[in-house]
Amino acid sequence: MAHRIRQRASVITAIVITGFISGLAAQRRVPGQAQPKQAINVSLKVGGQAYESREPGRCTHAPTASIYSIVSEMWSVQQSADGRSLALTLWRPKDGSGDMVTLSVSSGNASHQMTTVRGGGATSGSGKVTLERSAAGGTFTIDSRTRDGAAISGTIKCDAFAPHMAEGGF
């Protein structure tokens, strides 16, 4: 009888471990495999210049992520085309300590960055980014300034958020 119980426990343990590993494999991205792109509508004013784009890019979401040991919910947007690029990450700490943002916009020879992320050194610039969720996507509203005083304001709309894959595939 004890032998059967141990045998069943071994089979159950093997099934649980196999399911866990299969789940990890399902989340793992094959090296070199690009994440799918989503529709993104960008309407910004950057340093007084219009930055409009409807190029596809990546909008992702992680219900639980961490930056500098601060457990957070995270949304990310990346778009690049025709010598222009945009990267936004919004971190919403689960401890309620206040949102943190990184934002980078490049167009031609001009590049503007700001970060309000705490814990990894000095912040650079200031501002606020809000997210209004709608269906599978959402709209970010930006009102910020870079360290040198350039204003970045407007909206970024993602039609959908894909699951975020951490670097390294896990």
Domain ranges of the chain: 1-33, 40-163
Nearest partner of 92 among 116, 109, 112, 110, judged by Cα: 116
pLDDT in tens, the chain (170 residues): 444 433 433 333 232 222 323 333 334 444 454 556 888 999 999 999 999 999 999 999 999 999 999 999 999 999 999 899 999 999 999 999 999 999 999 988 889 999 999 988 788 999 999 999 998 999 999 999 999 999 999 999 999 999 988 765 44
Model pTM score: 0.76
3-state secondary structure of 23: helix
